[in-house]
Structure 1
């Protein structure tokens, strides 16, 4: 079940799943909340403005720079505030950003490329997460007694991952093909990260691809064995998890957009410099045991570079999901709202 390039009509159809939930729920932090600043956090942005622009954002049970920036007070004194709209299923985030139901969202690069190819109005505005050997974007687990040790062992097996059309599908298939594996002999099924460890342990899938922070629990499960991380597959080239914004928000509120990106970049740098404190925020937010929470790593200053985007354009074209030349790298991103980029201050 591979995704074709997502059409505008199909993206809009996906919205019904979320809108049927009503008002999209309530926020974790209200717009008037003033959470305390964490120890070691850089100074709060000091600029003032009479107009504060809310940006609509999911309030999902995950680790996210928007929540971190909010908890550190980085939106205080700026022209932007998160307006949390409740939980939004991960596959719905980019469709909702692309149609303007959300102003900002974070999901992997291939989903953004497909959205742009379908005519939706959004841009990557901040680089987001990155893969390090010690902090990968995703990990690959098998049961310890499975006998699966090499890529070829996966032929005839079932692989569970969080969604089609994103990193887990494309990074994995690219790597397996390079290793001579017939990926058509593998059964690919969608299993949410929060269910993947149990689904694997009970034998309903043979390999689980799990993202942090959920992968930490699987790492500590003695019945499971880590096979690889995405760093082992492509040294992190496919691991950039960026933030994308709707075009109307960028055009109508450029100063607020700049403040959002600056707050996120400051939060990203804080996380990189205080990984253990960031893990504590994750544990508290998600109700996880601290020892099971894995660290996150982010691109310095969230400055976007082109190779991770070109990587996915090439994959999508090779997979037949994108017509050659339909989307160029510069169609996908802009650093214009990042004050850490030279020339934009």
Structure 2
């Protein structure tokens, strides 16, 4: 180590070297920017506001929550994937999960990662928001969320949940709609179930103490419940719908998209690199997350991500259909193509270096 290098600087350089070596085998390519790519389609581009012209070297800082979670923004930052760009995260402190999309919709924060139905509902209500990158991919070995009960609860079948209390991290997201869809398919009267909001990092303890009867817990905290001797896992979202409802994408505020298109491209590029790195190095990713959230490594569940974070329509349409069926969205009010754009993803069109916006 050079004499003037600090331990944190050395650690950062080591992480960057690790990421560079790992990413070398992932085969990331860069895609050309077409005229259509120059702006985000749909609502986020509707204002027609000109892009902000920045001098070389100016830094654009995007406001982002600083939450204890498995999140690509933190990993991309830690691995140095924002280096070489003019864009950096500005962490504004912890933000409760149910508030993330509403705050992105108003511009209080510039980016946020939450489930598709929340974005659809916000968009339908007039929020200036659009999905700009795909997120997690549910695999059998890496579910988005898991369902736990106490071993002595007697709950083993969906019908057993009538009259019981289910804890999940927020209304209006995957835990509510994927679960209700599954339970109705199994003949359960969901009106006889009490649903309450419990943060993921508290869900295991709340279940163990008898305050809930079933806990739906997202990674990385679901791993701790898997190791709890008095709990048993019933299902994962992979068991319920093979992961169709498990994509937690990254959304951005429309004004930020219009004013800082190159910064959006920087963010999406960094997130895609980090996502592919996590897929190629799941154990190294778990170690970094363990350090961040101060959770013993054996309890940290892994994540998997959509390759290159390229958005496809089926996970969007899935939730449009669910929201319409639940009476939360007027039929035909929102089309899937309005909710998302791949215009800022340099990997979306297959391989060449991106042009400057």
Measure, in 2, the Cα distance between the counterparts of 1:38 and 1:285: 19
- Where does structure 1 lack aligned partners over 5 or more consecutive residues? 1-31
Q: CA deviation at 1:61?
A: 1.0
User: What's the counterpart of residue 42 of structure 1?
Assistant: 23
Give the direction of change, closer, same or farther, for the CA distance of 1:231–1:223 in structure 2 (3 Å limit): same
Q: Which moved more, 1:49-58 or 1:243-252?
A: 49-58
CA deviation digits over 1:81-110, x for unaligned, max 9? 101111111111111111111110000000
Trace 1:226-305 onto structure 2 (pairs within 5 A).
226-305=233-312
Of 174, 187, 193, the residue aligned with 1:186 is 193
Secondary structure of 1:129 counterpart: coil
Contact 2:148/2:235 (<8 A) preserved: yes
Larger relative CO (CA 8 A, sep 6+): 1 or 2? 2
Q: CA deviation at 1:142?
A: 0.3
Of 139, 147, 154, the residue aligned with 2:146 is 139
- Where does structure 2 lack aligned partners over 5 or more consecutive residues? 1-8, 30-54
Measure, in 1, the Cα distance between the counterparts of 2:179 and 2:211: 19
CA deviation digits over 1:211-248, x for unaligned, max 9? 01111110000100000000000000000000000111
Measure, in 1, the Cα distance between the counterparts of 2:224 and 2:283: 17
Trace 1:202-217 onto structure 2 (pairs within 5 A).
202-217=209-224
Trace 1:1-345 onto structure 2 (pairs within 5 A).
35-36=12-13, 37=16, 39=18, 40-42=21-23, 49-342=56-349, 345=354
User: What's the counterpart of residue 52 of structure 2?
Assistant: none
Q: Whose radius of gyration is greater, 1 or 2?
A: 2
Measure, in 2, the Cα distance between the counterparts of 1:184 and 1:210: 21
CA deviation digits over 1:239-276, x for unaligned, max 9? 00000001111111111110110000000000000000
TM-score (norm 2): 0.85
Q: CA deviation at 1:288?
A: 1.0
Secondary structure of 2:147 counterpart: strand
Q: CA deviation at 1:38?
A: 5.4
Secondary structure of 1:54 counterpart: strand
Measure, in 2, the Cα distance between the counterparts of 1:164 and 1:33: 43
Contact 1:69/1:263 (<8 A) preserved: yes
Contact 2:23/2:276 (<8 A) preserved: no
Secondary structure of 1:147 counterpart: coil
Give the direction of change, closer, same or farther, for the CA distance of 1:187–1:262 in structure 2 (3 Å limit): same
Tell me the number of residue pairs that the alignment of Structure 1 and Structure 2 aligns.
313
Contact 1:41/1:72 (<8 A) preserved: no
Q: CA deviation at 1:34?
A: 9.1
Give the direction of change, closer, same or farther, for the CA distance of 1:34–1:245 in structure 2 (3 Å limit): farther
Measure, in 2, the Cα distance between the counterparts of 1:63 and 1:314: 28
Q: CA deviation at 1:171?
A: 0.2
Q: CA deviation at 1:145?
A: 1.1
Measure, in 1, the Cα distance between the counterparts of 2:95 and 2:167: 21
